[in-house]
Structure 1
Amino acid sequence: MTNVLFVCLGNICRSPMAEALFKKLVADRGLNDQFSIESRATSSEEQGNPPHPGARKTMKAHGLSYAGMHSEPISAAGFDWADYIITMDSQNMFNLQRMAPSQADRDKIHLCMDILPDHTGEEIPDPWYTHRFESTYQALASTLPKWLTAFQTHAV
C-alpha cells in the first residue's frame, strides 16, 4: 500500500481538492487496493472546518466527492504514515521541512508542480486568496496523473 498525503496551509482548498482528484484517478484506474490518500494542513487555523465553498463548488463541478472532509493539521503520525507528501507552495514546503521529525520524513516531501519538468519550483497559488478555484483544479489535473504514474513506477 502506498500512502500519499497532500498538504497545504489550511487544508480547506488545495489539499482537499488534490485528495479528491487523486482518489478519483486511483479509482478510475482500479488501484484502490494499492493507494491510501489523505490531506492535511500546516496550520491549525481551520482545524475541523469543511473545504472552502469555492473548493466544494469546483469539486462538485468535476464529479469529485468531498464527503467527510475536514481540515486537520499534520502531526508526527502523519509524517510516519505517509510514503509521499505533496505540497503546493514553497512556504508550506519550508514549514513541512521544519516540522518533519526526521530526515527520512523530510525526504518524503515534494512540491506538486515539480513533477512537470518545465515547471520545477513553481507553486499552485492558494485560491483562498486568488478565488481562482478552477485554475487550482486545472493545475492539479495536469500534475496528479503524472504523480500517480511516478508512484506506480517508483520514479520518485
Structure 2
Amino acid sequence: MSVVPRSALFVCLGNICRSPIAEATFKHLVSERGQANDWDVDSAATSRYEIGNPPDPRGQACMKRHDIFKHVEKHRARQITKDDYNKFDYIFGMDDSNMSDLKRMAPSGGHKAKLFKLGEFDSDKSCESTIEDPYYATGDKEFEEVYEQVKRSCSGFLDSL
C-alpha cells in the first residue's frame, strides 16, 4: 500500500537563510524517521529580493556543520506562488511579517494549505514563536540559533501529527 505524500513549504523573507535551513532540517528529520518518501518538501520567499540565489554562505556553513546541506545543495531562492497554496498541505512562516505576507498573498478563493508560524511548534517555550532573521548578524551564532529552533520546531510539528 503506497502512502500519499504530505507536503510542507517553509517560507521566509528572502529564501536564503531561515527557510532553506528549515527545508534541509525537515528533510533530514523525516529521513531519520523513515518517512522521506512520505513528504514533498520545499522552501520559498515572500519577497523577490534574492530570487535565483543560493543559501547565504553562513547558512551553508551551519548546514554543513550539521550534515544537512546535502538536502538543499541545488537550492535557489524562489518566491511563493499562488499555486503553492494548493500544492502544499502545510506552509510555515518564520515570523509575524512572513505570516502577514502569506495571508495577503494567498489566493482569494481559498486554498488547501494550512498556514502556521513554525516556531509555534518549538518545545522550548522560553523562545518566542518567532524565528529571527539572522541575515544582518555579524557571525555564525545567530544561524546556529536558527538551526536549533528550527530543529525543535520541525520535530514538534512531526510529533503533533
Q: Quick check: TM above 0.5?
A: yes
**Larger fraction in helix:** 1
1:100–1:106 Cα contact (<8 Å) kept: no
Q: Deviations over 1:16-50 (max 9, x none)?
A: 00000100001111102211100000001100000
2:151 is matched with 141
Matches of residues 16-95 of structure 1 in structure 2 within 5 Å?
Answer: 16-64=20-68, 65=70, 66-95=72-101
**Given residue 78 of structure 1, which amino acid in structure 2 is its aligned partner?**
D
Superposition deviation, residue 111 in structure 1:
0.5
Structure 2 counterpart of 1:87, which letter? G
Asked whether the 8 Å contact 1:3–1:36 carries over to 2, the reply is yes
Unaligned runs of 5+ in 1: none
Partner deviation per Cα, 1:124-153 (whole Å, 9 max, x = no partner): 110102341111111111111111122xx3
Q: CA RMSD for the aligned pairs?
A: 1.9
TM-score (norm 2): 0.87
The Cα of 1:122 is off from its aligned counterpart by 2.4
Partner of residue 135, structure 2? 128
Distance 1:28 1:106 in 2: 27
Cα pair 1:15 1:40 within 8 Å, conserved: yes
Measure, in 2, the Cα distance between the counterparts of 1:115 and 1:15.
15
Question: Identity across aligned pairs (percent)?
Answer: 38
Post-superposition, which runs of at least 4 consecutive aligned residues in structure 1 deviate over 6 A?
none
Cα distance between partner residues in 1 of 2:21 and 2:73: 12
Q: Is the 8 A contact 1:96 1:106 kept in 2?
A: no
What residue identity is the alignment partner of 1:25? L
Cα distance change, pair 70–107 in 1 and its aligned pair in 2 (3 A)? closer
Q: TM-score normalized by structure 1?
A: 0.90
| Local SS of the residue matching 2:62 | helix
Query: C-alpha deviations, 1:55-81, integer Å up to 9, x for none?
Result: 000000000122110100000111111
Alpha-carbon distance, 1:105 to partner: 3.3
SS of 2:41's equivalent?
A: strand
